[in-house]
A and B are shown apart, each in its own frame.
Chain A
Amino acid sequence: MVRVKEKLYKWLFAILAFASLVFLVGIVIVLFKEALPIFKKVKVLEFLFGRFWYPTYDPPEFGIFPLILASVWVSVGAMLVCVPLGVGSALYLNEIASHRQKAILKPLVEILASIPSIVYGFFGMVVLAPFLQNLLHLPIGLCAFTASLILGIMATPTVCSIAEDALSYVPKSFREASFAVGANRWQTLVKVVIPAAGSGISTAIILGMSRAIGETMTVLMVAGGAAVIPKSFFDPVRPMTSAIAAEMGEAPMGSDHFHALFAIALILFLITFVFNVIAEAISRKYRIKLGLSG
């Protein structure tokens, strides 16, 4: 009886574990199936590097280069905000903060991660955009810069908590050895701890980046939505996610526009997929390097 039960549980959990694989495969199949028809109408290169996105005109133009660039700009901008903030706070939490400070600060950083993205978007739209508009005398506050700032703040907790984990995995013996040969705290941090946790920190940064590039609601609300190749950080832009979110509801099912939006989703998926694979590869290498696991 016990044996049967044990077997049953084993199977049950095996099924649960494979369920996510089923979802992943299902989503990938649907993405490809719905995205590929557009490439019968538009060449892949024209789609990727076309300069104009006019999906509802006659004849339509399906060039997503402005959308890709918008996503890249906004994500790079977000990185400039969240890498110093996230890695900096991780270093402080792990190396300098007292136990009590850490007990308060770490949960607070994690709460930042639990704020729904629409709240960030609303904050950006109502508070930050008008503020920046007045401060910097911009023609309009809804632009790549504002979106970058908000996304950077949103990605900070991801970067911070993964980087903090990476730092805490650095074996105590590393630090002790460093102190033993007469290095001070700063030298130990810069020369020993950070290099040892380096790949973990890189993983944190890459995961933060894929969070920023996939974020939708916030950029829909604060990036301005102009499908134009951005000339400066203060131009309104239309990242890929916000194009999909804004247009999917109105695109007639099965139309070219519909398939084009799926193709954008596919490209977005491939980008974040590559990021995640890189992050996984780096973190695996780092575990081996530290001898933590195989």
Chain B
Amino acid sequence: MKVFNKIIMTVMILMGFAIPSYAEKIVMEGSTTVLPIAQKAAEVYMQNNSSADISVRGGGSGVGIASLIDGTCDIADSSRPIKDTELDKAVTNGKSVKAHVIAMDGIAVVVNPANKVNALTKKQVKDIYTGKTSNWSQVGGDNQKIVIISRDTSSGTFEAFSTLVLDAQKVRPDAVMQASNQAIASTVARTPGGIGYVGLGFLSSSVKALEIDGVLPSKETVLNNKYPIGRPLFMYTNGAPQGLAKELIDFIKSPEGQKLVEEDGFVGLK
């Protein structure tokens, strides 16, 4: 029993040492699209720097920016540029908001490799997903029913696709919903009439990426804004970031951080 007590004491003392007397603490809040990047970056950063204490919350781009203006978070994650109304509010609150682009979001529209169609316009993709177009022959393919495959409506990829392509109109209700980028790719690969969309990081030879408005999706075309289904992802800070916030943003922009970004299916900046 005594030995056991000793072990417990030792462990507790060691734990006491492990908790640093001084820990810098920052809060990140905002877009659920940026959330996986923020979460992973925070985890890796905290592993390497035990004195850092980073808490990451979702909530949505608007929530994050509002918190930044109210001063309840240090970094606001956002999948859209800040709005003028939000900027005005920031100024009245005495905040000067600074934007940092940390990654690009690029979404490829994919079909089965056996499909004759190689290119669609953004309008055609929208019509397919909202239900105006339901047969491949209407867009230059074989006479075959279009099987629409979509991400679950709560996912960040869906949200981006919905904003950039569908103008927030509803996907037809009989669309097949899949829980991950990989599930979409493998379903499209097995479904001759299928159409789906995946983050650029999930393209493979088992599916065919379509040209959209004449541009094939690639890292280059997303980064130079030629490809129409892409957008920058932001982190906003109040003024130039300092201390831990600066180090974290620098970490995300570093080659190591950008590797994490690409692992999540986003497009790295370099």
Residue numbers of A with Cβ under 8 A of B are 52-58, 66, 129-130, 133, 139-142, 220, 224-228, 235-236, 238, 246-247, 249-252, 257
Question: What's the least CB distance linking A255 to chain B, in Å?
Answer: 9
On whether A238 and B177 interact (CB within 8 A), knowing A139-B147, A140-B194, the answer reads: yes
Quick one: which of A140, A228, A249, A252 contacts B59, CB cutoff 8 A?
A252
Q: Which residues of A lie under 8 Å from residue B53 when comparing CB positions?
A: none
Of B17-25, B148-156, B219-227, the one contacting chain A is B148-156
On whether A225 and B168 interact (CB within 8 A), knowing A130-B190, A252-B59, the answer reads: no
Q: Which residues of B lie under 8 Å from residue A235 when comparing CB positions?
A: 174
Closest Cβ neighbor of B148 among chain A residues:
A226
Instruction: With A56-B153, A246-B179 given, name 5 new contacts (CB 8 A).
Output: A55-B154, A133-B191, A139-B193, A140-B191, A226-B173
Question: What's the least CB distance linking A226 to chain B, in Å?
Answer: 5
- 7 A-B residue pairs with CB within 8 Å: A139-B193, A141-B190, A142-B187, A246-B179, A247-B153, A249-B154, A252-B59
Quick one: which of A133, A140, A250 contacts B152, CB cutoff 8 A?
A250
| B154 near A251: Cβ-Cβ < 8 Å | yes
Within 8 A of A (CB), among B167-183: 168, 170, 173-179
Interchain pairs with CB closer than 8 A, number:
72
Q: Is B89 an interface residue (CB 8 A)?
A: no
| A226 near B153: Cβ-Cβ < 8 Å | no
Cα A89 to Cα B212 in complex, Å, equals 56
Cα A250 to Cα B35 in complex, Å, equals 11
Question: What's the least CB distance linking A145 to chain B, in Å?
Answer: 14
Question: What's the least CB distance linking A233 to chain B, in Å?
Answer: 14
| B178 near A139: Cβ-Cβ < 8 Å | no
* Interface residues of A, dominant DSSP: loop
| B155 near A236: Cβ-Cβ < 8 Å | no
Q: Is B258 an interface residue (CB 8 A)?
A: no
Question: What's the least CB distance linking B82 to chain A, in Å?
Answer: 19
Q: Is B201 an interface residue (CB 8 A)?
A: no
Q: Which residues of B lie under 8 Å from residue A58 when comparing CB positions?
A: 168
Q: Which residues of A lie under 8 Å from residue B191 when comparing CB positions?
A: 133, 139-141
| A56 near B154: Cβ-Cβ < 8 Å | yes
Q: Is B246 an interface residue (CB 8 A)?
A: no
Within 8 A of A (CB), among B201-244: none
Cα A277 to Cα B153 in complex, Å, equals 36
On whether A224 and B170 interact (CB within 8 A), knowing A55-B153, A247-B154, A252-B60, the answer reads: no
Q: Which residues of B lie under 8 Å from residue A54 when comparing CB positions?
A: 153, 170
Q: Which residues of A lie under 8 Å from residue B159 when comparing CB positions?
A: 56
Question: What's the least CB distance linking A225 to chain B, in Å?
Answer: 3
| B32 near A250: Cβ-Cβ < 8 Å | yes
| B147 near A140: Cβ-Cβ < 8 Å | yes
Quick one: which of A52, A56, A220, A224 contacts B176, CB cutoff 8 A?
A224
Cα A32 to Cα B229 in complex, Å, equals 42
Q: Which residues of B lie under 8 Å from residue A52 when comparing CB positions?
A: 173
| B190 near A227: Cβ-Cβ < 8 Å | no
Interface-centre pick from A130, A224, A238 (highest chain B CB count, 10 A)? A224
| B177 near A225: Cβ-Cβ < 8 Å | yes
B243-266 Cβ-contact flags toward A at 8 Å (1 or 0) = 000000000000000000000000
Q: Which residues of B lie under 8 Å from residue A247 when comparing CB positions?
A: 152-154
Cα A225 to Cα B168 in complex, Å, equals 20
Question: What's the least CB distance linking B252 to chain A, in Å?
Answer: 22
| B154 near A250: Cβ-Cβ < 8 Å | yes
Q: Is B145 an interface residue (CB 8 A)?
A: yes
Cα A210 to Cα B99 in complex, Å, equals 53
Cα A16 to Cα B158 in complex, Å, equals 46
| B58 near A252: Cβ-Cβ < 8 Å | yes
Cα A139 to Cα B154 in complex, Å, equals 25
| B174 near A226: Cβ-Cβ < 8 Å | yes
Question: What's the least CB distance linking B135 to chain A, in Å?
Answer: 11
| A142 near B174: Cβ-Cβ < 8 Å | no
Q: Which residues of A lie under 8 Å from residue B145 when comparing CB positions?
A: 139
Question: What's the least CB distance linking B79 to chain A, in Å?
Answer: 14
B73-96 Cβ-contact flags toward A at 8 Å (1 or 0) = 000000000000000000000000
Q: Which residues of A lie under 8 Å from residue B194 when comparing CB positions?
A: 140
Q: Which residues of B lie under 8 Å from residue A220 when comparing CB positions?
A: 179
Question: What's the least CB distance linking A142 to chain B, in Å?
Answer: 6
Question: What's the least CB distance linking B129 to chain A, in Å?
Answer: 13
Interface-centre pick from B58, B159, B190 (highest chain A CB count, 10 A)? B190
Question: What's the least CB distance linking A220 to chain B, in Å?
Answer: 7
| A224 near B154: Cβ-Cβ < 8 Å | no
Q: Which residues of B lie under 8 Å from residue A53 when comparing CB positions?
A: 173
Cα A124 to Cα B193 in complex, Å, equals 20
Cα A226 to Cα B172 in complex, Å, equals 9
Q: Which residues of A lie under 8 Å from residue B173 when comparing CB positions?
A: 52-53, 66, 226-228
Closest Cβ neighbor of B173 among chain A residues:
A228
Cα A225 to Cα B153 in complex, Å, equals 11
| A257 near B168: Cβ-Cβ < 8 Å | no
Q: Which residues of A lie under 8 Å from residue B59 when comparing CB positions?
A: 252
| A250 near B176: Cβ-Cβ < 8 Å | no
